[in-house]
A and B are shown apart, each in its own frame.
Chain A
Amino acid sequence: MKILGIETSCDDTAVAVYDDEKGLLSNVVSSQIKIHEEWGGVFPELAAREHTKNILPVLERALKDADVSLEQIDAIASTVAPGLIVSLVIGFSASKALAFAKDKPIVPVHHIEAHIFANFITQEIPYPFLALVVSGGHTELHIINEFENYKFLGGTLDDAVGEAYDKVARMLGLGYPGGPIIDKLSKEGKEIVKLPRPLINDKGKNRFNFSFSGLKSAVLRVVQEGKYKKEDIARSFQEAATDVLVYKTFDAAKEFNIKNIVVAGGVSANSMLREKMKERANKENINVYFPPMYLCTDNAGMVAFTGLKRFKEKGTTVGFDFEAKAKCRLDIFPKLIRPNR
């Protein structure tokens, strides 16, 4: 069985083909990072217009790389939520058009869900597990009891952690995207300033929420003092940000007695986060899983794979009247796509 995956929820237009026997046949992402760099961190085109321009060439390339034709595709998996609505609808409309023209079923996929289940492309992970999803636009913690059985524990109250990375990089004049740049630079620095670890001492059921805005402000003050080297500020920030993520995730693992942790999203590529997670996991006899680097940032391979899982295990498809949604919390999603159950 072959599934075509389409993802346009944020900046990247992505199309991939997944085969349940042969694995990932193609995974094409028209990254806009190049455009960002040329324009010093600001891209000149509207996100939606970029997707419109990219979608057909990316589709063509994904089919060519996979050496399959649209006729050989069994279903089309598409990200339907959450994301920038004008961007989401480009990918989802393309999915509907292809489905209509070639008479194929459409399988809906949640963006966050796809990031989490991307891990299953390379390894099976035992349920239940905790999922920490960290990227430029998201910072969320969920319990995954099984496929389509999710519990939301907390999310960011202000900035996502990846956004904090980008803004700190901008304060330090380091360029875009900030995550990999700060990660690399901080290896040369020392933690010379003890920055705040926001919400780390919270108690009660809301303690799995995150906040990175205050940390960002604290970094700005340190930058403005002008006393410290860039690499030391980068290191101090990175220590604080990753401490919060590790602390809260393991606090949840203890609270709910869960022995497996999945880290997903663009920030899961961060080397210090990986090291700290592994170190703590070893100590506490917990298994921690990270996606391979090529599946960390937004891509359609994760969408095709998650769509295949849904299609095979649940048989869920949606009709042409189904609409993409800017917002939908992961735990609500199974109800959104199957309202009658």
Chain B
Amino acid sequence: MKKIKSIQIKNESDLQELAEKLSKCLKGNEIFLLEGNLSAGKTTFTRYLVESLGLSPYENVTSPTFSIMNEYETKKGTVYHLDFYRVKDFDISDIVGNHIVLVEWPSEYIEEMDLPVVKIKFEILSDNERFIEIFGKNVNYLEECLK
């Protein structure tokens, strides 16, 4: 995958800013692969991204570790939030391609799908600081948009 951007963030509001910026670049059919250790910020990033897509005020973005898949109604359509932390795999063929799909602890094969794929790696530097790398496939527009 092609590296699009790397950024060191100082705190959660930097993460929010990044998520908001990204949300404005999306076409609505991207698959996000979120990689990083426990507490690296995968769910928090998802919350900010989904909120900036226009989440209904009665809804919350919560961890899908147990539920495996959460669905959120946003102004950009239904967003799917998955977590493979405790499952080896899960069939996502019905939802990819038409929706924004975010996957925590993703299986490797997803990267090979012929769809717009964005991989984000979160590395913990300290309590609040993170090093974030963004990679992309079939998402040339993102590079332009994030400049």
**A-side interface residues toward B, CB under 8 Å?**
10, 36, 41-48, 83-86, 135-137, 155-160, 162-163, 166-167, 170-171, 213, 216-217, 220-221, 326-327, 329
CB of B52 within 8 A of chain A? no
Q: Report whether A42 and B66 are in contact in the complex, using a CB–CB cutoff of 8 Å.
A: no
Q: Which residues of B contact A48 (CB under 8 A)?
A: 91
Chain B nearest CB: distance from A142 CB in Å?
15
Q: Which residues of B contact A159 (CB under 8 A)?
A: 43, 62-63, 65
Question: Can you list 29 contacts pairing A with B, beta carbon distance less than 8 Å?
Answer: A10-B66, A42-B86, A45-B88, A46-B89, A46-B91, A47-B87, A47-B90, A83-B67, A84-B67, A135-B66, A137-B66, A157-B60, A158-B43, A158-B44, A158-B47, A158-B62, A159-B62, A159-B63, A160-B63, A163-B66, A167-B65, A213-B44, A216-B39, A217-B38, A220-B39, A326-B69, A327-B70, A327-B71, A329-B58
Q: Which residues of B contact A221 (CB under 8 A)?
A: 127
Contacts A46-B90, A47-B68, A213-B43: A220 and B60 contacting too (C-beta < 8 A)? no
Chain B nearest CB: distance from A90 CB in Å?
13
Name A159's closest neighbour in chain B (CB-CB): B63
| A10 and B39 alpha carbons, distance in the complex (Å) | 24
| A171 and B38 alpha carbons, distance in the complex (Å) | 9
Contacts A41-B86, A213-B44, A326-B71: A160 and B66 contacting too (C-beta < 8 A)? yes
| A197 and B22 alpha carbons, distance in the complex (Å) | 32
| A36 and B62 alpha carbons, distance in the complex (Å) | 23
Q: Report whether A163 and B65 are in contact in the complex, using a CB–CB cutoff of 8 Å.
A: yes
Q: Which residues of A contact B43 (CB under 8 A)?
A: 158-159, 213
| A157 and B44 alpha carbons, distance in the complex (Å) | 10
Contacts beyond the supplied A10-B66, A48-B91, A326-B71: 20 A-B pairs with Cβ under 8 Å: A41-B86, A42-B87, A43-B86, A46-B89, A84-B68, A85-B69, A137-B67, A155-B62, A158-B62, A159-B65, A160-B63, A163-B65, A163-B66, A167-B65, A170-B38, A213-B43, A216-B38, A217-B39, A217-B127, A326-B70
| A245 and B57 alpha carbons, distance in the complex (Å) | 24
Contacts A85-B69, A158-B43: A213 and B63 contacting too (C-beta < 8 A)? yes
Q: Which residues of A contact B69 (CB under 8 A)?
A: 84-86, 326
Q: Which residues of B contact A326 (CB under 8 A)?
A: 69-71
Chain A nearest CB: distance from B124 CB in Å?
9
| A42 and B90 alpha carbons, distance in the complex (Å) | 12
Q: Report whether A167 and B67 are in contact in the complex, using a CB–CB cutoff of 8 Å.
A: no
Chain B nearest CB: distance from A261 CB in Å?
24
Name B69's closest neighbour in chain A (CB-CB): A84
Q: Report whether B63 and A158 are in contact in the complex, using a CB–CB cutoff of 8 Å.
A: yes
Q: Report whether B38 and A167 are in contact in the complex, using a CB–CB cutoff of 8 Å.
A: yes
Chain A nearest CB: distance from B109 CB in Å?
14
Q: Report whether B71 and A156 are in contact in the complex, using a CB–CB cutoff of 8 Å.
A: no
